Structure 1
Amino acid sequence: MASGTRGVAAATISLAVLLLVFCFSPSTAAAAAVPSIDATWTRHLPLPRGLLRGPESVAFDAKGQGPYSGVSDGRVLKWNGDTLGWSTYTYNPDYSSEACTASLLRPETATEGHCGRPLGLRFHLKSGYLYIADAYKGLMRVAPGGGEATVLVTEVDGVPLRFTNGVDIDQVTGEVYFTDSSRNYNRSQHEMVTRTGDSTGRLLRYDPRTGKAVVLQADVTYPNGLAISADRTHLIISSTGPCKLLRYWIKGSKAGTMELFADLPGYPDNVRPDKKGRYWVALHREKAELPFGVDSHLLALRIDADGKIIEEMRGPKGVRPTEVVERKGGRLFMGSVELHYVSVVTRK
């Protein structure tokens, strides 16, 4: 065989091997084996007119009303149906319409440090209190009916909250678990948290009975959203930069320890339980996502109690979700820190 022919043959074999490795790698094979939801076409719950955007988290109260979602001017809004649309539910003590309404000359990124940026939202169903993880204001709470929120925690162990992010509640004890994503960077610098591998994040707990907050775990790499397990023994926490889910044990022989729960094919944001002992994890984007090619990427994954992917949601690359919440009737409500609406996906 001529040397040129041998070279072509070798190159062909090498390419074939690479294709086989790619096509049958564990992550790709696993993704191909699970059911997939097509979220190309969704119903939109559009925010009020103007430059409002970013309904990041999606919460429902004890009566099933909502969704409620925090937006870019520092408020939390409530959806009242197609006829009435959104109304203001709560706001932080520093909010004012005049100072916090964005314009072309004054984007929300220039005012969010003062006006606040609500991220994680959760209701304590028995009391009706809504807890808010505001990236700049800290952990806040508003009484049933809304109005001005009360700031509960701005620092823990003398260290200020710099990037308050995710929140969930033990519905039995009322204890509130939340994350501070970084001691070095705030929300507007979130890309630096990933880029530098910053590992100064903290997992925290607030006890409403004592009004005290404590550090459960320090030096966590980009802790983001979190969810308490159905049996209340542990928390599942997004570690965004490393594309992982972590498990922190609240009870049992491993109490006070953290371990790897799942490796993910993308950058996770919020985690929400699906009421069946499993979790929906929103992915902001995939690890190796190309800007060209097919206009479809992973939006979210359903993870079982063992950390395995059992379902996926796919949709346009222009949609980068931050939270997926499953409700009755097969409806999946999807929040995004970038878009001007909450999406509703209905299973077919």
Structure 2
Amino acid sequence: MGSCTFKLALIVISVIVLLFLPCTAAAGVTKAIDASRTQRLNLPGSLVGPESVAFDGHGAGPYVSVSDGRVLRWGGESAGWRTFGYSPSYIKNNCSAPSELPPVATESSCGRPLGLRFHRGSGNLYIADAYMGLMRVGPNGGEAKVLATEAGGAPLRFTNGVDVDQVTGDVYFTDSSTTYSRAQHQMVTATGDSTGRIMRYNSRTNRVTVLQSGVTYPNGIAISTDRTHLVVALTGPCKLLRYWIRGPKAGTSEPFADLPGYPDNVRPDGKGGYWVALHREKNEFPFGVDSHLVAIRIGAEGEKLQEMRGPKNVRPTEAVEREGGKIWLGSVELPYIGIVST
């Protein structure tokens, strides 16, 4: 009887030890990054919303898409921020004039650039503008050329994410909804709207092809390192989708990863995986500890690799990792870019 009691005690102790052992090694997850103390690169004046952050083929930048309809370029401490690009409507509608209206009230006439991505070979910057469609600005900046305002016979109502195949020059982008505009983005999630689309722009033929329709809130998009598939953030469902563009599965899609929050842009981490910005967590409470997930690093096969945590008032829309251990955070709400040291 004493022997059985002793064995039972050992089993209980073993279970307790296992429960309290860290699970990091088993899950393959590295230490979380603390984004509570970030360096800030402030926007000029009253501008807000550097939704996307991009660097050109020479490493210059960052370039950011902001709330008044422009793309700005950072030229360093001496030069500061300068206008790099804008839609044709920006000049036509005199959007540079002072206005007391909130930016959301002028977006439809001035434009609201969201996703940004350079084609390094040509130096062209591709812009997914929520209202103006897919646009392109040359290496020297200036007025953008509108490349597409419709696809498959339906207008682009909420152009959102963009990425470029650096080999072919093909541009992949998303239309988050054919029902609601960006000003109504909350309705896309609230109604479970599934009218979003994934598209490709062929820069050689200037043609747009709808790759997949009926998608639930497609947002950010990134092409894989081997260029065989796209990874698309589905904001409402809190998931990543994989769409195959080459190989035996070409033209099909499949679930890629479940996420603990609402994703926005997806960007390569330089190691074969992706940084996914999370606007907020799934089950986030407004009270309690002032910390939440702001981004998550996902591996090449959809596995969770690393988390980034920060204050609840930081709700990033993009996380871009650069050489030197810096991650640049864009936000659709804040008046600055956050720079996090890893």
TM-score, length basis structure 2? 0.91
Match for residue 38 of structure 1 among 23, 34, 39: 34
Assess, with a 3 A threshold, how the Cα gap between structure 1 residues 147 and 276 changes in structure 2: closer, same or farther: same
Could you tell me whether the CA contact under 8 Å between 1:120 and 1:166 is conserved in 2? yes
Offset at 1:101?
A: 5.4
Percent identity over the alignment?
67
Residue 99 of structure 1: CA displacement?
3.2
Tell me the residue number matched to 1:13. none
**Stretch of structure 1 that moved more, 275-284 or 28-37:** 28-37
Runs of 4+ deviating beyond 2 Å: 27-34, 96-103
Are the counterparts in 2 of residues 194 and 241 from structure 1 also a CA contact under 8 Å? yes
Instruction: Report how many aligned residue pairs link the two structures.
Output: 322
Q: Is residue 260 of structure 2 the alignment partner of residue 239 of structure 1?
A: no
Return the offset for 1:85: 1.5
| CA 1:101–1:194: 2 relative to 1, 3 Å | farther
Q: Which residue of structure 2 aligns with residue 8 of structure 1?
A: none
Selected match of 1:333 from 324, 328, 337: 328
Is 2:28–2:305's contact at 8 Å kept on the other side of the alignment?
no
CA distance in 1: counterparts of 2:284 and 2:30, whole angstroms: 20
In the TM superposition, what is the alpha-carbon distance from 1:291 to its structure 2 partner? 0.1
Q: 1:125 aligns with which of 101, 120, 130?
A: 120
Q: Does structure 2 conserve the Cα–Cα contact (< 8 Å) formed by 1:197 and 1:241?
A: yes
* CA deviation string 1:113-140 (max 9, x = no partner): 1000000000000000000000000000
1:314 alignment partner in structure 2: 309
Query: Would you say the 8 A contact 1:261–1:307 is kept in 2?
Result: yes
Alignment of 1:98-117 (within 5 A): 98-99=94-95, 103=99, 105-117=100-112
* C-alpha separation in 1, matches of 2:62 and 2:71: 10
Distance in 2 between residues matched to 1:187 and 1:28, nearest whole Å: 39
Computed over aligned residues only, the root mean square deviation of the Cα atoms, in angstroms, reads 2.0
Please give the residue correspondences for 1:1-348 in structure 2 after superposition, counting only pairs within 5 Å. Answer: 34-50=30-46, 52-96=47-91, 98-99=94-95, 103=99, 105-347=100-342
1:285 CA drift (Å) = 0.1
Q: TM-score, normalised by structure 1?
A: 0.89
User: Which residue type is aligned with residue 345 of structure 1?
Assistant: V
Q: Distance in 1 between matches of 2:71 and 2:36?
A: 27
Contact kept, 8 Å, 2:197 with 2:210, in 1: the verdict is yes
- Per the TM alignment, residue 102 of structure 1 is displaced from its structure 2 partner at its CA by 6.2
In 1, Cα distance between the equivalents of 2:178 and 2:115?
18
| Structure 2 residue ranges without an equivalent (≥5) | 1-18
Residue identity opposite 2:177 in structure 1: S
Q: Is the 8 A contact 2:134 2:159 kept in 1?
A: yes
Secondary structure class of the residue paired with 1:290:
coil
Q: Does the CA contact (< 8 Å) of 2:51 and 2:317 recur in 1?
A: yes
In 1, Cα distance between the equivalents of 2:97 and 2:275?
A: 32
- Tell me how far 1:276 sits from its aligned partner: 1.2
Where do 5+ consecutive residues of structure 1 fail to align? 1-22
**Helix, strand or coil for the counterpart of 1:242?**
coil
Distance 1:29 1:269 in 2: 28
Distance 2:214 2:221 in 1: 16
Cα distance change, pair 110–281 in 1 and its aligned pair in 2 (3 A): same
Distance 1:215 1:90 in 2: 27
Q: Is the 8 A contact 1:266 1:283 kept in 2?
A: yes
Deviations 1:64-91 (A, max 9, x none): 0001011000000001112322110011
Q: Which residue of 1 aligns with 2:5?
A: none
Q: Tell me which amino acid in the other structure corresponds to 1:181.
A: S
